[in-house]
Amino acid sequence: MTGDAGLAIGYELQGAGLTGPPGVLVATARAAEAAGVDYLVFPDRPATATDSAGPPAAAVVAPWIAAQTSRIGLVTTGSTAYHEPYHLARMVASLDHVSAGRAGWQVVTGPDDLADANHRREGVDPAAHREARAAEFVGVVRDLWDSWEDGAFVPDKASGRFIDGSRIHAIDHAGPALRVRGPLNVARPPQGHPVVFASAADAPVASTADVLTVGDPESGDAGRPRVLAVVPFVGRTGAHAAELHARAGAPRSDHERAVVVGDPDEVVGQLSSWAGSVTGLTLRFRDPSQVAVFTDEVLPRLRRVRPDGAGTLRDRLGLPRAANRLAVQTATAVERS
């Protein structure tokens, strides 16, 4: 652990006042960007247990926000159970293109009985093959992102060469749960691979993610980039914070998130103590007023991975651009011959 380690900071926008109406969402996103937040996480659940409307689908919200911001990372949530990998791969790749390398994908796998009941179709029961499908899904998506090598999109007016077909590859994936021929119909994303986030507790996909989300800074594969999910209750005083926490039902830390309660000094101290253990923190706000308090009172005092806030989402998380797995194989084949 080094004393000068910084943290990447993400805000998860969920709950009343943070996601709707659309104008509020844009204002929240822009304020977060102006304050130097590294990324926003857009949760997504294709089902509801109530008669009330939730936010628009993350796959549409994220590019809409991308068009109205310029620096902040945008992590869209997509389930392996309810998407086709070809659709998911091109949506996230397209988000990376329209945001100039700011895209991430939070992969979730369920289970979710209510969502299953919205997505049954001939030959497809999301509940039946959930784990087998999840186990293959991320690898297929990464292969599709790699199916166009960098530089395959040529468009050279002078020669009339639009693409370089030798750098575009079928993936011919044929697994127990998924079959996808490829190639994708989108050029390789600016980051190579948009950043894949997964919960460390989500067994079928945790080993395939770029970044693991953990609820305890000591949990998860310590050799890999991890972000800690944090539910903050920041009060003017410790007593005020305790009151806010109690009013929210006094949630406790568990394997999914760390609950932090205190005045700004206490919260800064607590969060800073995790720098070096984890790459970053994803803040899950329970109350819209907490966003402003955290942004004003805590955020400016945290040491950051990229204090200049420049570059792609990978840059902000200290991750290198993803190498192309399919192009590497081609290069190896050439060397061998």
Partner 1 sequence: MSVQRTLHLGLMFWATGTHAAGWRHPDARADAAYDIRLIQEVSQAAERAKLDFVFLGDRLATDPALQHSNPAQISRLEPFTTAAAIAAATSHVGIVVTANPTYSDPYSIARLLASLDHLDGGRTAWNLVTGADAAAALNFGRDAHWDTGKRYDWAEETLRVVRALWDNAPGPDGRGGRPIHHRGTYFSVDGPLDVGAPPQGQVVLLSAGTSDRSRDLGAREADMVFAGPQPTLAARREFYADIKARAARYGRADQVTVLPGLTPVVAPTTEEAVARYDELNSLLVLAPEEEVGELVRAGGIGEGYRLSRTSASRLFGVDLRGCDLTAQVPAETLAAVSEEGRRRLAEITRLTRRTATGPHRITYGDLVYATPTQLSHTVVGDPYEVADMIQEWFEERLADGFNIYPSSVPGSVTDFVDLVVPELQRRGLFRKDYQGTTLREHLGLAVPPRRSA
Site residues for partner 1 per CB under 8 A: 20, 22, 45-48, 50-57, 59-64, 66-68, 82-84, 86-87, 90-91, 93-95, 97-98, 114, 117-122, 124, 148, 153, 155-157, 160-163, 165, 168, 178-187
What is the DSSP track for 139-194? HHHHHHHHSB-TT-EEEETTTTEEE-GGGB----EE-SS-EE----SSPPPTTSSP
Q: Which is nearer to partner 1, 141 or 267 (CB)?
A: 141
Given the complex with partner 1, which of 83 and 286 has the nearer CB atom? 83
Contact between 280 and 8 (Cβ < 8 Å): yes
Smallest separation (angstroms) from partner 1 to the CB of 308: 23
Paired sense of beta strands 161-163 and 226-234, if any: unpaired
Smallest distance from partner 1 to CB 264, Å: 34
Nearer to partner 1, 54 or 139 (CB): 54
Helices 130-146, 325-336: crossing angle, 10 deg rounding: 60
Shortest Cβ distance from residue 299 to partner 1 (Å)?
Answer: 26
Distance between CA atoms of 97 and 113, rounded to whole angstroms? 34
**Least distance from partner 1 to the Cβ atom of residue 283, Å:** 24
The least distance separating partner 1 from the CB of residue 131, rounded to whole angstroms, comes to: 17
Comparing CB distances to partner 1, the nearer of 153 and 266 is: 153
CB of 69 to partner 1, least distance (A): 10
CB of 146 to partner 1, least distance (A): 14
- Sign of CA pseudo-dihedral 312, 313, 315, 316: positive
State CA 317 to chain mean position distance. Answer: 11
- Comparing CB distances to partner 1, the nearer of 91 and 135 is 91
Q: How far is CA 236 from CA 50, 143, 228, 314, in A?
A: 35, 49, 24, 35
Q: Which is nearer to partner 1, 165 or 269 (CB)?
A: 165
Give whichever of 178 and 278 is closer to partner 1, judged by the CB atom: 178
Nearest Cα to 240, choosing from 259, 210, 264, 256?
264
Which amino acid, one-letter code, is at 277? Answer: S
* Phi, psi dihedral angles at 241 (to 5 degrees): -60, -45
